[in-house]
Amino acid sequence: MKLLRVGPLGQEIPAVLDDQGVIRDISSEVDDLAGEHLSASNLARIASLDLSRLPEVSDTTRIGACVGQVGKFICIGLNYADHAAESGADVPPEPVVFNKWTSAICGPNDNVLIPRGSNKTDWEVELGVVIGKAGRYIEEANALDHVAGYCVVNDISEREFQLERSGTWDKGKGCDTFGPIGPWLVTPDEIADPHDLAMWLEVDGKRYQDGSTRTMVYQVPFLISYLSRFMSLQPGDIISTGTPPGVGLGQKPPVYLRSGQSMRLGIEGLGIQTQEVIADPDA
């Protein structure tokens, strides 16, 4: 099942993409794709609906972030061996954990803003994992039972803020619009193996990233179990699991985003994002 949220920013309604590719409004059945509505039982109830009886939504309607009311947006750094190498870093002995602020979340096709003072805004296509069942100290063997679905994440990063301005990575990761998610939240029954998905990203039609989740160092069950040692995981939390090589920082010389450019990125089975890059009008 492919779930999505559509409508103006802050007024999104829940929807499903039916077998014919038609968007169907499910707001009469569920308030939002958030919190308890992401449980396995609620998702099963949505899957049982006769979608042909539900209103169609125009395919020109804005697509918002595929999850609402996100509590935590947790990211894993250097989780692809080949990306660590291009960054000049060793594969970490334990997962590198940082946060994107939830105010960074935006729709998959919304504009990405280059923040004030930025010269090194970069891209990262990543597999997002959305939690559907709360837990602490989750056993790795049971970890996938806590997954509501998967989505595409573009982990936009300002490298100077992240790496050159002292402190943690967070300040370069959480600027407004630095977290496009979606277009869809794809339920696990549609993804045979989250560790065997092609992923790619292009800037102005040039492909920079062309990788696969096969090269992920720490896989999804381990990450869920690991993170749950340090915090409770709640329905609607997003885990962004790292990026393959090909980021702007890794080019020789480095290449960074400029106003007027466009990004297009996707993951096999999870859909495609397209973003225009513009200077922040408040910068």
Structural domains of the chain, ranges and CATH numbers in brackets: 2-57 (no CATH), 73-279 (3.90.850.10)
CA distance 203 to 222: 32
CA distance 264 to 272: 7
Please write the tens of the pLDDT for every residue from 31-73. 999 999 999 999 999 999 999 999 999 999 999 999 999 999 9
Indicate the residue type of 120.
Answer: K
Provide the pLDDT for residue 283.
74
CA distance 77 to 92: 9
pLDDT along the chain (283 residues), means of 10: 97 97 96 96 96 94 98 95 76 93 98 96 98 98 98 97 88 96 98 97 98 96 98 98 95 97 98 97 83
CA distance 169 to 114: 17
Q: Show the tokens assigned to 44.
A: 């099963």
pTM of the predicted protein model? 0.96
- The gap between the terminal CA atoms of the chain, to the nearest Å, is 40
Residue pair 199/127 in contact (Cβ under 8 Å)? The answer is yes
Please write the tens of the pLDDT for every residue from 69-85. 999 999 999 899 877 77
Q: State how beta strands 2-6 and 185-186 pair.
A: antiparallel
Provide the pLDDT for residue 60.
94
Radius of gyration of the chain (CA): 18
